[in-house]
Structure 1
Amino acid sequence: MTYRRYVPYNRNRRSSVATLFGRYKNPQQHLSAKFPWMAVDTPARIVIVGAGPIGIEAALYARFLGYEVTVFDSGEVGSHLLQWGHVSMFTPFGANSTPLGLSALAAQDDRYQPPADNAILTGSEFVEHYLLPLAQTDLVSDGLKLHHEVLSIARKSQLKHENLGEEARAEEPFVTFVRDAEGHEHLFESEIVLDCSGVQGQSNFLGGGGNPTVGERECRAHLDYGVINASDADHQRYANQQILVVGSGFTAAANIVQLSQLARESLETHVVWLTRDDCPTEQGGPMAIERDDPYPQRKRVLEQANQAASAEDGHVDHWPGTSIKAIHYEPQNDHFHVTLAGKHEGVHTFDRVVANVGHRPDLEMFRELQVATCCVSESPRAWRPNEDADSDAHDKTPLIHPEPNFYILGAKSYGRRSDFVLATGFDQIRRVFAMIGARTNLNLYAKPMTKSE
């Protein structure tokens, strides 16, 4: 395959991304074609941040095209998925895998048998049967650097404010500043950076309006996050305890379902479910359920959570219209004193506090780059020249930033929103490499036609 060469900066034909954005209604379709410095030929260097599903798939895609790829992750392959590994995914395996990935696995091991397309896997099963084997293929494994934390990404000799929208900025390589497991620091240069790091590493705060509540920073290490495994790994931690669950999203609902079951087995277990909304939904509980929800697994969990919250068995109490004003952890007794405001104001004592209040993207690592984000969701925002910085008009999953050849893919591209699915991330990978390769029809995910077709 042939791609455009990386074109050096030429002052005699100087032009800007701003000019392009003024000329085309959809700049993402024309950027690489009109500005060849955005199209990078192989064997260019690509740094990928994150060894989750999107990062590993992007690495495979890039290596198949002949790029040199380095993937950094502060943990293991699929570490975010493994945090809720016992929970079933919403979507079937066929929607969470790609033809390219399956072909790579079959080429690596002719005995490999993928799960059925309609199989609903848990997070751990998905990592075990697809993601980890994919990361261990020859095309990906050589560039995989686990337990390497990305601290910062910048241009080699371009400050943040310099050469906005100019091809002179693209002349300088990215420098990714990394710390390994032994604490040693390293610098890695590349022509392209794909941030696929996700959002699960940064939980929102408990306080009103998104602030930390009083005392939260001091006791943050003792709070619980994510989906707990009350029937197995976390059973001893939660059985016969007084538990506060804070949040009104799917993760909180999944935890309520697990804890209500635990309470029926360990009768001294009691759960308080705290939500900010003042009154229950039409379904009789705090969770609003779409009648035509495309994901039956999600709908089932939400229904079970509402049933647990409205049941009269005393295991789960739903406290609506209530927020946390302050929290204090006592290590001597291993419990929390929580000051509440609203309908259930006062000081209450709990053994465990589960904070399911959502996540936010880590914007610190690309602070020195020219990246536009939405003022509401902190997701990438479609950039237009001279646009009001406070405008929140944005495409659903924009890929182009003022920073040439820097892309945010995966859950992080949705910012604080929680409706990302892997199929969207796979399409982002396809779109990005079509732009990098300056070929709008480039699609390694296209399934080969069968003889009958």
Structure 2
Amino acid sequence: MLTTATSSHPVVVIGAGPIGLSAAAHLSERGLPFLVLEAGTAAGAAIADWGHTRLFSPWQYNLDAAARRLLEADGWTAPDVDALPTGHELREQYLEPLAQLSQLAESIRYDARVTAVSRAGMDRTRTARREETPFLIRTETADGHSEDVLASAVIDASGTWSTPNPLGQAGLLAPGERQAVAAGRITPPLPDVLGRDRDRVAGKRVMVTGAGHSAANTLLDLAELGSTTVITWAVRTADLTRVYGRGEQDELSARGALGSQLRELVDSGRIKVLTSFTITRFSGEDALTVHAVTPDGEREVTVDVLVPATGFRPELRMLSELRLNLDPAVEAPAQLGPLIDPEFHSCGSVEPHGERVLAHPEKNFYIVGMKSYGRAPTFLMATGYEQVRSIAASLAGDRDAADAVHLELPETGVCTTDLGGSCDAPTKATDVCGASAPS
């Protein structure tokens, strides 16, 4: 609950994506003042990068209850709950109308990238009167202008899209990786290879790294470009079973179709697979030479462009002056970490959780959404919606509502790699063969 000393300041929500706007909707319904700080120039700005991608989760799992109530009161009509939206459709049909509602619009500030969160006048070593001191959030615009904002509470829904995992071994950048990115030899995650980024890959030698469904969809799209595009698929694992799934016998029809198509392309030789392939460094100017170690020794593969699909991690430097309690493995809130560890859990097996599980020693500070899952690729939007509902209830002093956590997830939710941490399960009734559908 907000303290009297800080309640004169708004609750600051970092990020105007699906979970950030959901938090704003719940705070609005609770009558709590809030301010949403968004680094981009529009709601769901990061989604524009992967908007061509079709989600595996139908609309029924992508709409927050409070947001829907506000929208429908304004005359909005919900999309078909069984349809699978693309990222662009998610923005255009849901997030943009939500951000434009009078209850939210005046409290959203764009071009306001958060660079640091602390307590006003004190660093993390100071304890006296800490909980009574407002948060200080430092923002920066695209032209470098800085501004400080005071807050009674902070909900960090900034996601992980801007911090993809390195391509090198041991969780580190490979030597030469930064230079290869700067030279355009390594693309951003999930490029639109059939649209916006077609010229970058068509007719080229292309390597895709990663063993999840994001990699699989990119590979399928590349195969549509024709035989002049030479495709190499490099994975660290020795076994591709998790990607192929069980074909027609798979519980998730969309995932089964995805795996079956990919297996056919590999078996036919259209896609060349390099397993147990660990990248050690990059070199080259006119082309990209990928140096790696394999069970057979060192290997070099020369390509024109590399597409990374190896997951994401949370950006925590901006929170370095806060007292956080994070799981040492997945970098999620400590109580949440064991519940989402991908070695033991899939999307559908994660227990519902709310404010108590997400709390840190830093009172009234919360990490939610994709970022709350740290490095675990098992997040569903529906999970984030319930997180912020519980937090808003707690901040409003409604302990019973905060603790009454309920969440119905798809029983068949299975995750491998994802859209910045997001994992979505497809409806069985929908065939998305050939669509770019992230896990």
Fold in common (TM above 0.5): yes
1:402, 1:290 → 2: CA distance? 46
**2:272 corresponds to 1:317:** yes
CA positional deviation for 1:126: 1.0
User: In 2, are the aligned partners of 1:338 and 1:348 still within 8 Å (CA)?
Assistant: yes
Please name the residue that 1:305 is paired with.
262
User: In 1, are the aligned partners of 2:204 and 2:228 still within 8 Å (CA)?
Assistant: yes
Deviations 1:293-326 (A, max 9, x none): 66543443233333322x22x3210111112121
Please name the residue that 2:144 is paired with.
183
2:260, 2:323 → 1: CA distance? 44
Which letter maps to 2:290?
Answer: V
User: In 2, are the aligned partners of 1:63 and 1:140 still within 8 Å (CA)?
Assistant: yes
Match of 2:399 among 435, 440, 446: 440
Match of 2:162 among 198, 201, 204: 201
Deviation above 4 Å: which 4+ runs of structure 1? Answer: 286-295, 394-397, 443-446
Task: Structure 1: give runs of 5+ residues left out of the alignment.
Answer: 9-39, 384-393, 447-453
User: In 1, are the aligned partners of 2:247 and 2:260 still within 8 Å (CA)?
Assistant: no
Match of 1:241 among 184, 199, 204: 204
Please name the residue that 2:16 is paired with.
51
Task: Structure 2: give runs of 5+ residues left out of the alignment.
Answer: 337-349, 407-439
1:203-352 correspondence to structure 2 within 5 Å: 203-221=164-182, 222=184, 223-262=186-225, 266-281=226-241, 287-288=244-245, 295-309=252-266, 311-312=267-268, 314-330=269-285, 333=286, 335-342=287-294, 343=296, 345-352=298-305
1:175, 1:293 → 2: CA distance? 49
Q: Secondary structure at the match of 1:259?
A: helix
Deviations 1:388-447 (A, max 9, x none): xxxxxx99853110000001110111001111001101110111122212213448999x
Deviations 1:98-150 (A, max 9, x none): 23222212333x2x322011111111111100111101111111111112111
CA positional deviation for 1:229: 2.0
**2:106 corresponds to 1:142:** yes
2:32, 2:246 → 1: CA distance? 44
User: In 2, are the aligned partners of 1:93 and 1:120 still within 8 Å (CA)?
Assistant: yes
Match of 1:82 among 48, 62, 79: 48
Change beyond 3 A, Cα 1:5–1:145: closer
2:319, 2:358 → 1: CA distance? 15
1:232, 1:217 → 2: CA distance? 25
CA positional deviation for 1:63: 1.9
Change beyond 3 A, Cα 1:186–1:116: same
Which letter maps to 2:288?
Answer: F
Please name the residue that 1:26 is paired with.
none
More deviation, 136-145/293-302: 293-302
User: In 2, are the aligned partners of 1:151 and 1:178 still within 8 Å (CA)?
Assistant: yes
Q: Secondary structure at the match of 1:360?
A: coil
Which letter maps to 1:119?
Answer: A
1:138, 1:307 → 2: CA distance? 51
Change beyond 3 A, Cα 1:400–1:257: same
2:149, 2:133 → 1: CA distance? 13
User: In 2, are the aligned partners of 1:92 and 1:121 still within 8 Å (CA)?
Assistant: yes
User: In 2, are the aligned partners of 1:382 and 1:395 still within 8 Å (CA)?
Assistant: no
Q: Equivalent pairs: percent with the same residue?
A: 28
Please name the residue that 1:114 is paired with.
78
**2:126 corresponds to 1:162:** yes
Change beyond 3 A, Cα 1:379–1:268: same
Which letter maps to 1:189?
Answer: L
CA positional deviation for 1:345: 3.5
User: In 2, are the aligned partners of 1:48 and 1:70 still within 8 Å (CA)?
Assistant: yes
2:258, 2:37 → 1: CA distance? 34
Q: Secondary structure at the match of 1:418?
A: coil
Q: Alignment length, in residue pairs? A: 385
CA positional deviation for 1:381: 0.9
User: In 1, are the aligned partners of 2:247 and 2:259 still within 8 Å (CA)?
Assistant: no
Q: Which has the larger radius of gyration?
A: 1
Change beyond 3 A, Cα 1:395–1:96: closer
2:87, 2:2 → 1: CA distance? 40
Task: With the length of structure 1 as denominator, give the TM-score of the two structures.
Answer: 0.79
Give the RMSD, CA atoms, in angstroms: 2.6
CA positional deviation for 1:94: 1.4
**2:171 corresponds to 1:171:** no
Deviations 1:251-278 (A, max 9, x none): 111111111222xxx3211111001112
**2:381 corresponds to 1:422:** yes
